[in-house]
Amino acid sequence: MQMLKYVGRRLLLMIPTVFIMSFIVFFIIQLPPGDYVSGYIARMSAQGEIFTEEMIAEIRASYGLNRPWYIQYFYWIRGIILHWDFGYSFSYYRPVWDVIMDRLGITVAVSLITMLFTYLVSLPIGIYSANHQYSAGDYLFTIIGFIGMAMPNFLLGIILMYLMYVFTGTTYVGLFSQEMLKNGVHWYNLGEFLRRMIMPIIVIGMSGTCGVIRTVRAQMLDEQSKQYTLTARAKGVSERKITYKYCLRAALNPVVSGLATSLSHIFTGSTITAIVMNLAIQGPVLYNALINQDMYLAGTILLVQAFLIVLGTLISDIILGWLDPMIRSEQVHEG
């Protein structure tokens, strides 16, 4: 019952938190000089179009950009609350939520598979490295881990695309071939789609995988040196039980704490990597919205990211309470 009160209180705190974050996001988007109309006028003027001050004022009024930014924020957030209306995308000439939904499915699919890849690969390697400290395998995974954390994802993507081209004659750029874009994804070209998924998943998931490996290894080694582990080993408890029941459970705490960021990445994916590898996910949409000062589209994407971070923090706190009795006790006392 106390735990339910704790969760309920956190859910109530999410509401003002999201509102404050939405206000900050909208304010920051407005900081660069100019707006969408300024960029539009500049592009059209470069092509020879002539605009008078009256024409510019009329265009700005038609987009609702003639009002102060806080008034624009008020109408934007009111539309979201009352009508689930996130505004109109200036760049795509469509409602913002329709633009987001176009790529939401493939973005979530790529991100969830990447998360699955990250944890399925990193956890066994981290456990192995901790249980075989200073072995040849530990040194090998340590080197790979440092390289994976230090190398930018987009650079790794370029290298893999080059190697793919050298050995296969194609780079498999993008998630869809021209045939798939024309006819859609069907059972007969599903194999090609899955092949195209391999490289983006490895590239996007590499840094996260290497980071989790280093975290799990360090935490496992720390737990193995604690008194309760030494006592359990002296009493004849099997190494397997010590590893998986005690050490790993404690080592998962920092991994679970990173769930908030992981949830946010599910919605957007890796922006720069997606641009380099021509992936049809949300990241490039956010980039283009920021470049074009398409404030309602950029604001909505950032708002959803902020909400997912808050939600992920709540979920990670609940999981941490389940994993660690000490944290669960503190949460109950807070309730």
Question: Which tens digit of pLDDT belongs to each residue from 100-136?
Answer: 988 888 888 888 888 888 889 999 999 999 888 889 9
Predicted confidence at residue 73, as pLDDT, reads 92
- For residue 94, what are the β-bridge partners? 89
What is the pTM assigned to this prediction?
Answer: 0.78
Lowest mean pLDDT of 160-164, 214-218, 318-322, name the range.
318-322
Supply 204's token pair: 């996007």
What number of helices (H) and strands (E) belong to the chain?
17, 2
Segment 294-315 shows an average pLDDT of 85
At residue 320, what is the residue type? L
Q: What percent of the residues of the chain are helix, what percent strand, and what percent coil, each to the nearest 5?
A: 80, 0, 20
The predicted model gives 304-329 an average pLDDT of: 73
Query: What CATH superfamily classification does 96-334 receive?
Result: MetI-like (1.10.3720.10)
The residue-averaged pLDDT of 256-268 equals 69
| The pLDDT of residue 125 | 93
pLDDT tops 80 at residue 67:
yes
pLDDT band for position 190 (cuts 50, 70, 90): low
Does residue 219 register a pLDDT over 60?
A: yes
Question: Which residues belong to CATH 1.10.3720.10 in the chain?
Answer: 96-334
Q: Any idea of the CA torsion for 15, 16, 18, 24, to the nearest 10 degrees?
A: 170
CA–CA separation, 302 vs 113, rounded Å? 22
CA 175/CA 280 separation, integer angstroms: 7
